[in-house]
Structure 1
Amino acid sequence: MINKVINKYNINVYSMLKHGTVATITMFGVSMLFGIKNIMLAFPIALTSVVLGRQNLQVKTASKILRIIFIDTFIVVFAFISSLNIYLGIIINFIAIFLIMYNMFSPYDLTFYKPFIMLYVFTGYARINLNELPLRVLSIIFGVLVIVFCNMIAKANEKSKLGNTVNTSLVIIKNQLNNIIINNLDEELIKKCSTIMRELVYKIYITRHKKYLTTNLGRIQFNIYINIEYFNLYLRNIHLEYKNNNIKKNDILNIISIIDSILQYSDYGISIEELENEINLFEFINKNKSKVLNEISNTIKSLEISLKELKQLSHRDINKVYEEWEKEKIESFKEAFRKGMRFNFSIRMAVTLTIALFIGEKLGYYKVIWAIITIMSVIQPYYEYTLKKIKERIIGNVIGILFTGVFINIVNNSLLTILILILSLYLLYGFKDYSKISLFASIASICISSLTENIHVLLFYRIIYVIAGVVIAIIVNKNIFPYKLREGMNEIIAKIDKLNTKLINYSITILNGTENPNKVRDIIIHSTLLCGKLDIRNLNFNDEKIKRIVNINNEFVIQVGYRVLR
């Protein structure tokens, strides 16, 4: 029964338990240890847990945690300084919000900035005096330590994560080979495999640290990515050769058999030695049969080498930085700091939130923070995404207001209200759909406030401020540094084109022995992730031209990378 509900509503139980626990512990822990004024910090802290969950905290953990504590402390202190003088606060707020937005904006995770900007808004609104500032800083440190503790408990085995991605891709390749046998190559399967492999590339990307490109595990993951994606794209050649009777059905069945063996090894069915023997035999049989089979043999052999390296990699070394690979400087500061989606979005948020905070403080209206939170939550980098968020927030808040209003009026019991609060804190992190997130966020927010305030007044103000926030967000996105999805897609295409030029130039110098191959690796990572971004943005348009750009670029990057790096 429970599993049916989980599957039906696509509930992420792991995320719900992990981040819900962070929110609950932080909320009650902070309120008891550091005072009720800091209770709202549970929301940005829990959201920090969510965004860090999409990063790799296992790489240089102490360094990353100290960095988060430093950034959060900086935010809290700046918010405090801005609250000392309403007019000086205008300048401080604008600068601080712009810096937070611009510096905490992740090119491949559009939500990474959210906990930091939320923390600034919350701490700026909930004013404290100088004597209370140390407690607020301590509450932040407490929250970050809760995140670390929950991450240690829920720490996943990185090797198994790698296996899930690889296994799924290999199963798709196996299915495609079966299709080829009946002369029915499915292009959608090739695209599906490429999409899954991009997830592996993102895992590699988030292992970078300072000047280093990746970790010991990331190095192996990168090699596996290149080989499996090359294999996936090379299936077109296999299909063509099969149609022309240059390779036989039995040859394809042998390839399928090897894939089955790799999957069996991944599931602990056979040893690495047994797998190696099978691959060596396959390589011996097919070495001089045909160019296509020889190419497949080489790819499978390279994959086997990576699997052996993974087997030999100890848990202690798995997340250590691989110092032989360094990052490539993809763009200069001048190139990065220019008018574009990131700059426009940062300016738009800085202007809007600065004005909203000033007006809210000047007028001093009750619970005006709800309007500011609405503005902060629904304004997105792209105009189209903002409209979508607005719609989802309205749906979530309407249901949340109705449910909470009816429940509290009927029950009118503080203990049950606290239980609903805790339940909503958990459910808040169980969904990807923003309307559901907004629903449980509104329930949690109203429940907290209802413990000390009149529920009818709260519901009235909630409705008014959500409407006000939505209206302001629409006006802002149309008039303050607007940026539409098409513009963003063109910006991504321009970046991909620039990377392709670099890839060609570097590849030539690498083949001539005058350049470091690391530059190509970093370009491949960025180009692949940018293609993924472009593909996602194109879901709004379903533009065939964009699809071709993604597919052609993906094949180009893999072909060049495979040839240059092998």
Structure 2
Amino acid sequence: MKKLIMSKTLIFLFVFSFINVFIKFFGGSNTLIGVTVVTAMLMFLERDLTIEPIKNTFKLLGINVFLGVLSFLAVQNIGLGVVANFTALFVVGYLFTYDLKRPMYIAFGLQYLFMVGSPVSANEFPVRLLSLAFGALCIMIPQFLVNKNKLEKSSKKIFISTSEDILTKIRNIKENKNIEEINLKIENNINSLKKMLYDNRKDEFYLNDSAIDILNMGLSLERISLILDNYYDKKMNNNASDLNNKNQEICLDIMESEIKKLKLYIEKEELIEYDINLDEIEDINLCEFYIVLNNIHDYFDEYKKRKNTKSEKLYTGNLQIPSNFKISNIHMRGLSKESIRFSYAIKVALAGAISGFIMDYFNLSEGRWIMFTIFSVIQPYSENCIIKSKKRIQGTLVGGTMIFILFSIIKDPSARGIIIVLAGYLGSYTTDYRDSMIFNTMSAIGSAAMIGSVSILFINRILFVLLGIAIGLVVNKFILPYDIKKGYKYLVDMYERVNLEMIEEINLCIKSKHNNYKMKNLLLVPGLIEDRMSLMGINDKEQKHFIKEQKHLTSSIYNLYVNIATNKIKDNDFNEMLKESNCISECEEVKDVIIDSIKNTEDIGTKVACKNLLQILNSLNNKEQKITV
């Protein structure tokens, strides 16, 4: 609790100080721009923008100036205002809403609405543009303080933490304890690593060599966790023989010992030798464990060499970015009524244009509260619009009542100012939207009441919030409705589509025509999909089963791809079978041969590759009774 109070207080003091400095430089008319700049500054810290700092700075500069120009045009006349408001909010809604990542539209949307609600004259307009340009630079400066080398620093912590979790998982399996909670911890760790890597792509596609090593290590640790699931499933099988149980205990003991060494190796970065003869191992899961463990050591050794020599190559050859990964094509695909980005952008733009028209037509002095309400309650998913509307009404009534009572008792301007500041500070502790709205309402009405009537402002606030909610709910219901069910189906389809694309890369890898960067990009996507699904709040058995099945499929695809790409399959017959097949799915016809290879081949790499291929085929066929090995 003490740390929470300290951190919240420091952030509040920083925000308060920053806004005051901003006012001194750019004047009181741009106060609210300072508020949104510091909001964006803190919000964007969760994204690493340092991989392309110049490019990202110009992007932020461009969007800020663009919104500044449109906000100036919007207040010139009603007709121009409708067009400008629609355009600005559509651009913000579309550019900063993502299929897989958390949306980032709040700061830019509020910034535009603040500028429309607090217009400046033509003489003051250059200063406003200057404040927006300065704001773009301010967003980037903390990036170098917080996010520089973030991947390197955070990845090591994740690897150590995941190793500890894997050890806990092994102990739980030995003791017949549930592993669901520890699995979730491991998944969250690896997914957080994937999100960082996703932000570290140049041109939103290329990863440097060190980042690829980090990705490979993360995926390999995830693979070890999934290998352990096989032992857990067998443990839960009461029909397992005593001999099998004993062999399983021996395998788990060996794995536990090796993971302890690996954790020490990652912590100390000192090479730890292990001597094992894979040919003497009968358990195929243990064989695969050692192959994956050996891969981790190789990846980590390469990573250390690059770090020590500061050699981080980024591909600059003739390899073209595949069309479906090009930014222009991604944006074009998003311009569809089936896209959540397009749906949200149209809704917020249309509702914003309507509310702006009402504000201008009736010349409402506090009409900006209608626009703020609309921007707040309209959400990408329809269900969230209804939830937020209810909470905004509740928060407005409670906050308005509180500030009305306090200001009715306290008349001194200085004391009132303290109440406003205190409301802003206490609001930083809230996590629920309703509670946040209580303090926001107190700050908004309190600030306006310093030069007006608190009772009139309280009534206006309630009326404008209700009007904004009414507009928002109507637009949300009838204009391109997009609910969680539709979003979930889109993610399910995307997950399956990504795995099929990865299988196609294996087909190309067999013919030495694969694109390694494309494969790495595809491997990042499942983690983002899983995170997005968790944010939807759908945690039923069907979703958990789907994610588990797809995760195992993705991991098997990755492992087979690595074995083929690194030429670890030494069995000539198996290699010939792969080359003669036009695609992996055709191997279904020779499944019996693959099963025989697992039992009879002496090459461990081939044995594991056959196992991975069999797992892929089983998943593709989606059979209830799957072949097990």
TM norm. shorter chain > 0.5: yes
Relative contact order, CA 8 A, sep 6+: which one is greater?
1
* Alpha-carbon distance in structure 1 between the residues aligned to 2:95 and 2:71: 17
Map 1:333-344; keep pairs closer than 5 Å: 333=330, 334-340=332-338, 341-344=340-343
Shift of 1:315: 9.9
Which of the residues 62, 79, 101 maps onto 1:87?
Answer: 79
Which of the residues 311, 324, 327 maps onto 1:330?
Answer: 324
* Alpha-carbon distance in structure 1 between the residues aligned to 2:123 and 2:167: 65
Does residue 301 (structure 1) correspond to residue 300 (structure 2)? The answer is: no
* Alpha-carbon distance in structure 2 between the residues aligned to 1:40 and 1:121: 10
* Alpha-carbon distance in structure 1 between the residues aligned to 2:135 and 2:176: 57
Shift of 1:203: 1.1
- Give the residue type in structure 1 aligned to 2:198: Y
Shift of 1:362: 1.1
Question: What secondary structure, in the 3-state scheme, does the structure 1 residue paired with 2:78 have?
Answer: coil
How has the CA–CA distance of structure 1 residues 490 and 161 changed in structure 2, closer, same or farther, with 3 Å as cutoff?
A: same
- Alpha-carbon deviations, 1:499-542, whole Å to 9, x = none? 232222122112221121221211121233123323432x24x4
Question: Is residue 81–residue 356 contact of structure 2 (8 Å, CA) maintained in 1?
Answer: no
How has the CA–CA distance of structure 1 residues 300 and 14 changed in structure 2, closer, same or farther, with 3 Å as cutoff?
A: farther
How has the CA–CA distance of structure 1 residues 251 and 166 changed in structure 2, closer, same or farther, with 3 Å as cutoff?
A: same
* Alpha-carbon distance in structure 1 between the residues aligned to 2:175 and 2:461: 61
Partner of 1:555: 552
* Alpha-carbon distance in structure 1 between the residues aligned to 2:449 and 2:300: 56
Partner of 1:230: 223
Question: Is residue 370–residue 464 contact of structure 2 (8 Å, CA) maintained in 1?
Answer: yes
Question: Is residue 22–residue 147 contact of structure 1 (8 Å, CA) maintained in 2?
Answer: no
Identity of aligned residues (%): 21
- Give the residue type in structure 1 aligned to 2:324: I
Which of the residues 17, 20, 24 maps onto 1:32?
Answer: 24
Shift of 1:342: 1.7
Does residue 522 (structure 1) correspond to residue 521 (structure 2)? The answer is: yes
How has the CA–CA distance of structure 1 residues 148 and 336 changed in structure 2, closer, same or farther, with 3 Å as cutoff?
A: closer
Which of the residues 157, 166, 169 maps onto 1:173?
Answer: 166
> Which moved further from structure 2: 386-395 or 423-432?
423-432
Shift of 1:232: 1.2
For structure 2, list consecutive stretches of 5 or more residues without a partner in the other structure.
564-629
Shift of 1:40: 1.5
Question: What secondary structure, in the 3-state scheme, does the structure 1 residue paired with 2:324 have?
Answer: coil
- Give the residue type in structure 1 aligned to 2:161: T
Shift of 1:50: 3.4
Question: Is residue 8–residue 428 contact of structure 2 (8 Å, CA) maintained in 1?
Answer: yes
Does residue 473 (structure 1) correspond to residue 472 (structure 2)? The answer is: yes
Which of the residues 43, 47, 50 maps onto 2:42?
Answer: 50
- Give the residue type in structure 2 aligned to 1:180: I
Question: What secondary structure, in the 3-state scheme, does the structure 2 residue paired with 1:130 have?
Answer: coil
* Alpha-carbon distance in structure 1 between the residues aligned to 2:208 and 2:431: 29
- Give the residue type in structure 2 aligned to 1:347: I
How has the CA–CA distance of structure 1 residues 251 and 555 changed in structure 2, closer, same or farther, with 3 Å as cutoff?
A: closer
Map 1:140-155; keep pairs closer than 5 Å: 140-154=132-146
* Alpha-carbon distance in structure 2 between the residues aligned to 1:509 and 1:76: 49
> Which moved further from structure 2: 304-313 or 57-66?
304-313
Partner of 2:498: 499
* Alpha-carbon distance in structure 2 between the residues aligned to 1:181 and 1:314: 38
How has the CA–CA distance of structure 1 residues 39 and 389 changed in structure 2, closer, same or farther, with 3 Å as cutoff?
A: same
Does residue 97 (structure 1) correspond to residue 89 (structure 2)? The answer is: yes
Shift of 1:29: 2.5
* Alpha-carbon distance in structure 2 between the residues aligned to 1:45 and 1:316: 38
Shift of 1:441: 2.9
Partner of 2:202: 209
For structure 1, list consecutive stretches of 5 or more residues without a partner in the other structure.
none
Question: What secondary structure, in the 3-state scheme, does the structure 2 residue paired with 1:208 have?
Answer: coil
Partner of 1:132: 124
Shift of 1:429: 4.7
Does residue 113 (structure 1) correspond to residue 105 (structure 2)? The answer is: yes
Partner of 2:621: none
How has the CA–CA distance of structure 1 residues 15 and 48 changed in structure 2, closer, same or farther, with 3 Å as cutoff?
A: farther
How has the CA–CA distance of structure 1 residues 423 and 562 changed in structure 2, closer, same or farther, with 3 Å as cutoff?
A: farther
Question: What secondary structure, in the 3-state scheme, does the structure 1 residue paired with 2:285 have?
Answer: helix
> Which moved further from structure 2: 72-81 or 391-400?
391-400
Shift of 1:436: 3.5
- Give the residue type in structure 1 aligned to 2:201: R
Partner of 1:161: 154
Map 1:156-555; keep pairs closer than 5 Å: 158=150, 159-184=152-177, 186-215=179-208, 217-239=210-232, 244-245=244-245, 247-264=247-264, 268=267, 271-273=268-270, 276-277=271-272, 280-281=273-274, 283-284=275-276, 288-290=280-282, 291-312=284-305, 314=307, 328-330=322-324, 332-333=329-330, 334-340=332-338, 341-537=340-536, 539-540=537-538, 542-555=539-552
* Alpha-carbon distance in structure 1 between the residues aligned to 2:465 and 2:278: 66
Question: Is residue 125–residue 369 contact of structure 1 (8 Å, CA) maintained in 2?
Answer: yes
Superposition TM-score, scaled by structure 1 size = 0.87
- Give the residue type in structure 2 aligned to 1:532: D
Question: What secondary structure, in the 3-state scheme, does the structure 1 residue paired with 2:533 have?
Answer: helix
Question: Is residue 224–residue 292 contact of structure 2 (8 Å, CA) maintained in 1?
Answer: yes
Shift of 1:69: 1.5
Partner of 1:123: 115
Partner of 2:627: none
How has the CA–CA distance of structure 1 residues 395 and 17 changed in structure 2, closer, same or farther, with 3 Å as cutoff?
A: farther
Shift of 1:377: 0.7
* Alpha-carbon distance in structure 1 between the residues aligned to 2:554 and 2:260: 28
- Give the residue type in structure 2 aligned to 1:86: I
* Alpha-carbon distance in structure 2 between the residues aligned to 1:16 and 1:484: 38
Question: What secondary structure, in the 3-state scheme, does the structure 1 residue paired with 2:280 have?
Answer: coil
How has the CA–CA distance of structure 1 residues 519 and 216 changed in structure 2, closer, same or farther, with 3 Å as cutoff?
A: closer
Question: Is residue 94–residue 351 contact of structure 1 (8 Å, CA) maintained in 2?
Answer: yes
| Structure number, greater radius of gyration | 2
* Alpha-carbon distance in structure 1 between the residues aligned to 2:246 and 2:321: 42
* Alpha-carbon distance in structure 1 between the residues aligned to 2:416 and 2:316: 53
Q: How many residues align?
A: 548
How has the CA–CA distance of structure 1 residues 164 and 24 changed in structure 2, closer, same or farther, with 3 Å as cutoff?
A: same
How has the CA–CA distance of structure 1 residues 499 and 109 changed in structure 2, closer, same or farther, with 3 Å as cutoff?
A: closer
Question: What secondary structure, in the 3-state scheme, does the structure 1 residue paired with 2:101 have?
Answer: coil
* Alpha-carbon distance in structure 1 between the residues aligned to 2:234 and 2:99: 40
Question: Is residue 405–residue 459 contact of structure 1 (8 Å, CA) maintained in 2?
Answer: yes
* Alpha-carbon distance in structure 2 between the residues aligned to 1:157 and 1:495: 31
- Give the residue type in structure 1 aligned to 2:39: L
- Give the residue type in structure 2 aligned to 1:137: L
Provide runs of 4+ in structure 1 moved above 6 Å. none
Question: Is residue 51–residue 111 contact of structure 1 (8 Å, CA) maintained in 2?
Answer: no
> Which moved further from structure 2: 196-205 or 60-69?
60-69
Question: Is residue 212–residue 322 contact of structure 1 (8 Å, CA) maintained in 2?
Answer: no
* Alpha-carbon distance in structure 2 between the residues aligned to 1:322 and 1:43: 40
Question: What secondary structure, in the 3-state scheme, does the structure 1 residue paired with 2:441 have?
Answer: helix
Question: Is residue 215–residue 321 contact of structure 1 (8 Å, CA) maintained in 2?
Answer: yes
How has the CA–CA distance of structure 1 residues 551 and 309 changed in structure 2, closer, same or farther, with 3 Å as cutoff?
A: same
- Give the residue type in structure 1 aligned to 2:225: N
Shift of 1:206: 1.3
- Alpha-carbon deviations, 1:171-219, whole Å to 9, x = none? 2221111122234462453344223321211111111232543345532
Question: Is residue 45–residue 147 contact of structure 2 (8 Å, CA) maintained in 1?
Answer: no
- Give the residue type in structure 2 aligned to 1:330: N
Question: Is residue 535–residue 547 contact of structure 1 (8 Å, CA) maintained in 2?
Answer: no
CA RMSD between the two structures: 3.1
- Give the residue type in structure 2 aligned to 1:303: I
How has the CA–CA distance of structure 1 residues 327 and 44 changed in structure 2, closer, same or farther, with 3 Å as cutoff?
A: farther
How has the CA–CA distance of structure 1 residues 523 and 77 changed in structure 2, closer, same or farther, with 3 Å as cutoff?
A: same
How has the CA–CA distance of structure 1 residues 335 and 405 changed in structure 2, closer, same or farther, with 3 Å as cutoff?
A: same
How has the CA–CA distance of structure 1 residues 26 and 398 changed in structure 2, closer, same or farther, with 3 Å as cutoff?
A: farther
